[in-house]
Amino acid sequence: MLARAAAACSVIEGRIPSEAKVDIEPVFQFFKGFRERRMRFFYDYFKVRPATTVLDIGGREFNWTLMPFAPRVTILNLSMQGQRSGKFEWVIGDARKLPFPNRAFDIVYSNSVIEHLGSYDDQRQFAAECERVGHSYFIQTPNRKFPIEPHLLTPFVHSLPKKWQAFLLRNFTVWGWITRPDPAARARYLNTTRMLTRAEFQSLFPDAEITSERFLGLTKCFIATRKEPLPSE
């Protein structure tokens, strides 16, 4: 079923960042501790087992290597991202129109993706699709009001006017130093990144419980969860 869905699904460029020219896996390694804690929370909260089916929207395999075992994970993205082991199902698709039937997965998981959809309407479509294809979901997004922008790895830039951001992105952010983005990549970041406040995030997932993840006493990100009994339970 997944293979047929992948073949039928069109790729929408510019919504979720395509594969970078420079490998940024070392950046993920740097934040390994944060991701391990988040993944432990995910596993414990949903009582994840090897037979649990998970749709990871916009992800890579890296997160799933942090735990002692991986459930039955399908990764959906706009392109094949990061290192691949052959142990996971990959589907190329659009997060706003998922090529799966209702309640196809036990859990929908997404880490720092919804803020890349560009507009509130696109984010609303993403949220509706997460609710449609999963019995439960776990959707994480950075807090717009946290002082460090987590994609740029640089403080306060995201609070500046976009024309200032355009000037600063390449030479005055950690992301710019690592990836050396060309004008098209910088424009794509500015046009597709729309970070969310808690109120906006709750409005996208009105039935969800919103959990705050903190760093040095400040809210770093939000996690929206809906937990339903798994079909096998």
The pLDDT tens digits of the residues spanning 19-32 come to 444 444 545 555 56
Mark whether 99 and 185 lie in a shared domain.
Answer: no
Mark whether 98 and 211 lie in a shared domain.
Answer: yes
Mean predicted confidence (pLDDT) in 7-17: 34
Mark whether 89 and 112 lie in a shared domain.
Answer: yes
Question: Which residue range(s) make up the domain with 163?
Answer: 152-192
Residue 36 pLDDT class (50, 70, 90 cuts): confident
Q: Report pLDDT digits (tens) over 191-203.
A: 889 999 999 999 9
Give CA separation, 93 vs 59, 201, 205, in Å.
Answer: 12, 23, 22
- For residue 101, give the nearest of 30, 25, 1, 201 by alpha carbon: 1
Q: Report pLDDT digits (tens) over 146-161.
A: 988 888 888 988 888 8
Could you give the maximum distance between any two Cα atoms of the chain, in Å?
Answer: 53
How many Cα atoms are found within 13 Å in the side-chain-facing hemisphere of 163? 0
Pairing of strands 105-111, 53-57: parallel
What domain count does the chain have? Answer: 2
Is pLDDT of 108 > 90?
yes
Question: 3-state DSSP call for residue 124?
Answer: helix
Mean predicted confidence (pLDDT) in 211-220: 90
Mark whether 92 and 199 lie in a shared domain.
Answer: yes
Mark whether 30 and 90 lie in a shared domain.
Answer: yes
Is pLDDT of 14 > 60?
no
Is pLDDT of 181 > 80?
yes
Write the CATH number for 96.
Answer: 3.40.50.150
Is pLDDT of 184 > 70?
yes
Q: Are 96 and 129 in contact (CB under 8 A)?
A: yes
- For residue 224, give the nearest of 152, 142, 150 by alpha carbon: 142
Residue 137 pLDDT class (50, 70, 90 cuts): very high
What pLDDT, on the 0 to 100 scale, is given for residue 28? 52
Mark whether 92 and 63 lie in a shared domain.
Answer: yes
Distance (Å, rounded) from C-alpha 171 to C-alpha 102? 45
Mark whether 126 and 184 lie in a shared domain.
Answer: no
Residue 82 pLDDT class (50, 70, 90 cuts): low
What pLDDT, on the 0 to 100 scale, is given for residue 33? 67
